[in-house]
């Protein structure tokens, strides 16, 4: 297996100062929320201000950070420049329906599937853009949903074309329809179309940013199993189709061949995982591939996230006892660097205590 010339870490993301949007996505349960939380913690160390957003209706940033978040960006406990928010792209921020256009809008959304979601996503982006964060990390919902979000600009464009052609064909009929729904003159078709147009401009603007690799990147999270490999390939291809940059893969839940592994079952799993890990390296030799160890416990709360974050920066090295002199030397150097990290962490904690 080639270790690859690329660094096995996410350091490249931290070094890319121009980055504005970081999407983190992958199959259900592989560790998207854990990874996006940690990436945002790491970014907060090098960037002025960071916002992490969950667009997953299951909302689990709150679980990861052990703090309740809402659709309003909230400072994460223990940080001065890291904010989190949780939105549901299906129901949140739909100001149009909130202003009495319900009937008409639902007619419209029936005609153009996805337009309501597109509009609330656009609203959310608009809001976020005015807030001036240096970088925004998205903890996205499982694969299909994310790709739909990224398709919204074209969905909306198609929808608008449809409405325009309807308008041209039926002339004043839409106006009559709005009257019929009792919406009054202020909600006539021109107002409606004006708003859709405005939304379209905004979403086009955002879409341009999403397609700019200087500004946007997508981090694919997966686990070393067949289905996940398959899904990752699908995701990578879809992203290429949408012209969205991706050059990081995080392989989570890797069981390393530690001294402690004596179980036959685990050994078999390790072998199976290795097969898929090799395939990841073969398929994605131009990606930064970061491997994360499977822990015996969950990654919950800021401390646990911070602890786990070291593996995002320096590749995890298992602790072998058996083996060659080189392996022992490697182990000693790993232990040394872990000790150094622990010392630094301790110093940081003690400093924090003094301040507090
Ligand atoms: N390497 C790991 N070792 C042990 N537990 C982990 C590891 N990575 C993540 N977990 C735990 O696994 C669970 C699922 O992780 P996480 O919530 O990050 O996945 P997800 O991809 O966001 O899931 P969902 O698709 O449901 O949103 C969490 O309880 C998390 O703490
Ligand atoms: Mg999640």
- CA 210 vs. chain centroid, Å, equals 13
| Same domain assignment for residues 353 and 276 | no
Atom of ligand 1 nearest to the CA of 58: 27
> Please, which residues have CB less than 5 A from ligand 2, an ion?
32-33, 60
Average confidence score pLDDT of the chain? 81
Q: 28 among the known binding-site residues? A: yes
| Same domain assignment for residues 264 and 327 | no
- 185 is an active site residue: no
Nearest C-alpha neighbor of 250 from the set 293, 210, 212: 293
Q: Is the dihedral of CA 34, 39, 44, 45 positive or negative?
A: positive
Ligand at minimal distance from the CA of 299 is 1
As a dihedral over the C-alpha atoms of residue 227, residue 230, residue 231, residue 237, rounded to 10 degrees, the angle is 180
User: Cβ contacts of residue 42 below 8 Å, gap of 6+?
Assistant: 10, 13, 14, 309, 312, 313
Q: Measuring from each residue's beta carbon to the nearest atom of ligand 1, which residues come in under 6 Å?
A: 28-34, 56, 58, 60, 142, 252-253, 292, 294-295, 298-300
Of residues 19 and 177, more confidently modeled: 19
198 pLDDT higher than 80: no
| Same domain assignment for residues 269 and 249 | yes
Ligand at minimal distance from the CA of 145 is 1
Cβ–Cβ under 8 Å, residues 73 and 64: no
User: Cβ contacts of residue 242 below 8 Å, gap of 6+?
Assistant: 147, 150, 151, 210, 211
Q: Residue 186 falls within a domain, yes or no?
A: no
Q: Residue 61 falls within a domain, yes or no?
A: yes
Residue 32: per-residue pLDDT = 95
Nearest C-alpha neighbor of 81 from the set 43, 55, 130, 53: 43
Cβ–Cβ under 8 Å, residues 8 and 287: no
Ligand at minimal distance from the CA of 35 is 1
Q: Measure the CA–CA gap between 34 and 42, rounded to whole angstroms.
A: 12
| Same domain assignment for residues 313 and 326 | no
Q: Residue 203 falls within a domain, yes or no?
A: no
pLDDT in tens, 239-276: 998 889 999 999 999 998 876 667 889 889 999 999 99
Of residues 106 and 351, more confidently modeled: 351
pLDDT band at 93 (very low <50, low <70, confident <90, very high): very low
| Same domain assignment for residues 338 and 311 | no
Q: Measure the CA–CA gap between 117 and 148, rounded to whole angstroms.
A: 9
Q: 198 among the known binding-site residues? A: no
Q: Residue 342 falls within a domain, yes or no?
A: yes
Structurally, how many domains does the chain consist of? Answer: 2
185 pLDDT higher than 70: no
Cα 313 to ligand 2 centre (Å): 21
| Same domain assignment for residues 134 and 273 | yes
pLDDT in tens, 137-150: 999 876 555 666 66
What are the distances in angstroms from CA 204 to CA 144, 158, 163? 21, 13, 18
Residue nearest to atom 16 of ligand 1 (CA): 31
- Once rounded to an integer, what is the mean pLDDT over residues 66-75? 93
Its domain, for residue 338, covers: 319-356
Q: Measure the CA–CA gap between 136 and 23, rounded to whole angstroms.
A: 8
Nearest C-alpha neighbor of 145 from the set 213, 73, 22, 57: 57
pLDDT band at 3 (very low <50, low <70, confident <90, very high): very low
Residue 95: per-residue pLDDT = 44
Cα 296 to ligand 1 centre (Å): 12
| Same domain assignment for residues 235 and 327 | no
Q: Residue 194 falls within a domain, yes or no?
A: no
Atom of ligand 1 nearest to the CA of 292: 1
Residue 221: per-residue pLDDT = 97
Percent residues over pLDDT 90 in the chain = 44
Tokens standing for residue 242: 């949408």
Residue 137: strand pairing partners: 22, 52
Tokens standing for residue 179: 């009257």
- Which of 40-44, 74-78, 263-267, 277-281 shows the lowest per-residue confidence on average (mean pLDDT)? 263-267
pLDDT band at 166 (very low <50, low <70, confident <90, very high): low
Q: Residue 46 falls within a domain, yes or no?
A: yes
| Same domain assignment for residues 289 and 301 | yes
**DSSP strand pairing (248-254 vs 288-293):** parallel
Residue 219: strand pairing partners: 24, 248
Residue 60: per-residue pLDDT = 87
pLDDT band at 50 (very low <50, low <70, confident <90, very high): very high
Nearest C-alpha neighbor of 97 from the set 166, 183, 161: 183
| Same domain assignment for residues 355 and 218 | no
DSSP reduced 3-state for 140: coil
| Same domain assignment for residues 129 and 16 | yes
Percent residues over pLDDT 70 in the chain = 71
348 φ, ψ to 5°? Answer: -60, -45
Q: Measure the CA–CA gap between 314 and 334, rounded to whole angstroms.
A: 10
Q: At 271, which CATH number?
A: 3.40.50.300
Q: 252 among the known binding-site residues? A: yes
Q: Among the ranges 12-16, 51-55, 150-154, which has the highest mean pLDDT value?
A: 12-16
* Residue found under tokens 């400093």: 351
Q: Residue 239 falls within a domain, yes or no?
A: yes
Atom of ligand 1 nearest to the CA of 28: 25
Tokens standing for residue 320: 């072998």
- Which of 29-38, 83-92, 150-159 shows the lowest per-residue confidence on average (mean pLDDT)? 150-159
Residue 135: strand pairing partners: 50
| Same domain assignment for residues 228 and 297 | yes
Q: 225 among the known binding-site residues? A: yes
- Once rounded to an integer, what is the mean pLDDT over residues 283-301? 94
145 φ, ψ to 5°? Answer: -60, -45
DSSP, res 141: P
| Same domain assignment for residues 277 and 143 | yes
pLDDT band at 294 (very low <50, low <70, confident <90, very high): very high
């Amino acid at each position: 297996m080639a270790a690859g010339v690329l660094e096995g870490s996410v350091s490249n993301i931290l070094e890319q100062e121009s980055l504005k949007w970081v999407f983190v996505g992958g199959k259900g349960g592989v560790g998207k929320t854990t990874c996006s939380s940690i990436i945002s913690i790491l970014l907060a160390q090098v960037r002025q201000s960071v916002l992490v957003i969950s667009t997953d209706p299951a909302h689990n940033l709150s679980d990861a950070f052990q703090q309740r978040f809402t659709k309003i960006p909230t400072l994460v406990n223990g940080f001065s420049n890291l904010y989190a928010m949780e939105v549901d792209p299906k129901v949140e921020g739909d100001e149009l329906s909130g202003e009495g256009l319900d009937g008409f809008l639902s007619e419209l959304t029936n005609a153009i599937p996805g337009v309501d979601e597109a509009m609330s996503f656009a609203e959310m982006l608009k809001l976020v853009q005015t807030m001036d964060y240096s970088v925004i990390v998205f903890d996205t919902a499982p694969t299909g949903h994310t790709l739909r979000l990224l398709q919204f600009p074209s969905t909306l464009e198609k929808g608008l074309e449809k409405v325009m052609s309807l308008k041209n064909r039926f002339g004043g009929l839409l106006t009559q329809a709005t009257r019929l729904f009792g919406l009054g003159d202020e909600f006539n078709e021109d107002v409606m179309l004006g708003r859709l147009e405005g939304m379209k401009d905004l979403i086009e603007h955002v879409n341009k940013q999403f397609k700019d690799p200087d500004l946007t990147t997508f981090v694919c999270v997966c686990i070393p199993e067949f289905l996940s490999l398959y899904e990752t390939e699908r995701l990578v291809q879809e992203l290429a189709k949408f012209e969205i940059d991706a050059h990081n893969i995080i392989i989570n839940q890797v069981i390393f061949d530690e001294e402690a592994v004596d179980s036959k079952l685990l050994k078999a799993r390790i072998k199976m995982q290795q097969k898929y890990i090799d395939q990841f390296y073969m398929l994605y030799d131009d990606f930064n591939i970061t491997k994360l160890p499977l822990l015996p416990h969950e990654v919950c709360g800021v401390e646990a996230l911070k602890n786990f974050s070291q593996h995002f920066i320096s590749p995890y090295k298992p602790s072998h006892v058996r083996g060659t002199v080189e392996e022992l030397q490697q182990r000693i150097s790993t232990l040394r660097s872990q000790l150094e990290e622990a010392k630094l962490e301790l110093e940081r904690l003690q400093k924090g205590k003094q301040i507090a």
